[in-house]
Structure 1
Amino acid sequence: MNTKLTLTIEQAIIEKAKKYAKDKGRSLSDLIENYLKAITKDSGPETIEITPTVKLLKGSFTGPADLDYNKELSKRLSEKYL
Structure 2
Amino acid sequence: MSKLTLTVDPAVIKLAKRYAASQEQSLSKLVENYLKTLPKTPTTDEPALELTGLVAELAGVLDDKTIKDDRSEYRDYLQDKYQ
TM-score range, shorter chain: 0.3 to 0.5
Higher relative contact order structure (alpha carbons within 8 Å, sequence separation ≥ 6): 1
